[in-house]
Amino acid sequence: MAILGVGVDVVHIPRIAALLQRKGSGKLASRILSKEEHAQWESLPSSDVALQARFLAVSDVDRWGVKEAAYKAMYPVVRPTWKELAYRGLGDQALGKARAKPALVYSPVAAADKEHVGRIHLSELKAIYPAIEYDVEKIDISKNTQKEPWFIKLNPNGRIPVLVDRTRDNFPVFETSAILLYLTHNYDTEQRFWYDPIKHPKEYSEILQWIFFAHGGVGPMQGQAHHFNRSAPEDIPYAKKRYTDETKRLYGVLEIRLKDRDWLVGPGRGEFTIADVKAFPWVNRHPFAGIESLDEWPRVKAWLARALERPAAQAGYQVK
């Protein structure tokens, strides 16, 4: 019997969670996951059934949809099992295209500070939500590719980076802070890297304050310091001193904030949030701003070291 299903697969995650609890998560996963998928599955916390269910739903939405369609078509005469089902997806195969991952990040060939931000956060999210997948497409800004009409449609400012969410009709998001907030609000469902604005309005406001501090202060000032110290066609001592000194002043603000704290936002010593993700990649490039050492700001230096030790941060820097 051939069953043709056209449209969107809808999967009820609580039903999958109930199946996991009833049949045993390891047993069910071994029956339906590929070898590569099962390797990712093994990295999930064994006690987090909700996370396991979400992983199965996202990773194998086609197979769940096929089985639902088969049940609707044949039940109660036949109750098909996983091993009795075979399917061929018509969409990508008919078009001759490989299946694209949900998110696409446009990044320059030689990534600088702000370009790492989105990739670091995607790596952090993927460490918590293994089903998140994304592609990185490098743009050669030396050829002004980012100024071409197709790219201007994504970002009228013609700058990098840009996020394209393929799951939402190729919705484009530009500006690193906007990308951080978009990814967080749409994909950090457990609020691991931010605070709910209704339940924790003060902490949420603090996250926005420090993101905007980095976006409107550290980024522009340090970016100019980079230019006049490393790229300007002529030596302009006043400009170099002006922007390097302002960058140092802003590091001093971070130093004050980090007194008795590990991270910028959160109760007690704080928690790692998107505010840290926004700020630390800039500080990591301090030599380009004419600042050879962070010894003048020991708390900032320790904060940066903590951030760089995070496996997801390292992965974000290494994304090719």
Domain ranges of the chain: 13-95, 103-187, 201-318
Which tokens hold the place of 261? Answer: 């704290």
Residue 35: what pLDDT?
A: 67
Residue 91: what pLDDT?
A: 40
- Cα distance between residue 195 and residue 206, in whole Å: 10
- The pTM score is 0.68
Q: Which of 181, 174, 264, 154 has the alpha carbon at shortest distance from 218?
A: 264
Residue 308: what pLDDT?
A: 94
Residue 214: what pLDDT?
A: 97
Residue 118: what pLDDT?
A: 82
**Spans of the chain below 50 pLDDT:** 1-9, 87-99, 109, 111
Buried b (16+ CB within 10 A) or exposed e, 6-22: eeeeebeeeebbeebee
Residue 86: what pLDDT?
A: 54
Determine the 3-state secondary structure of 277 from DSSP: helix
Residue given tokens 């590929």 in the structure block = 34
Q: For strands 171-174 and 103-108, give the pairing.
A: unpaired
- Beta bridge pairs of residue 163: 105, 173
Residue 7: what pLDDT?
A: 39
Fold of 103-187: Glutaredoxin (3.40.30)
Q: Is the peptide bond before 161 cis (omega within 30 degrees of 0)?
A: yes
Residue 94: what pLDDT?
A: 34
Determine the 3-state secondary structure of 108 from DSSP: strand
Residue 194: what pLDDT?
A: 96
DSSP-derived letter for residue 292 is -
Confirm or reject CATH 1.20.1050.10 for domain 201-318, answering yes or no.
yes
Q: Which of 170, 159, 110 has the alpha carbon at shortest distance from 135?
A: 170
Residue 260: what pLDDT?
A: 98
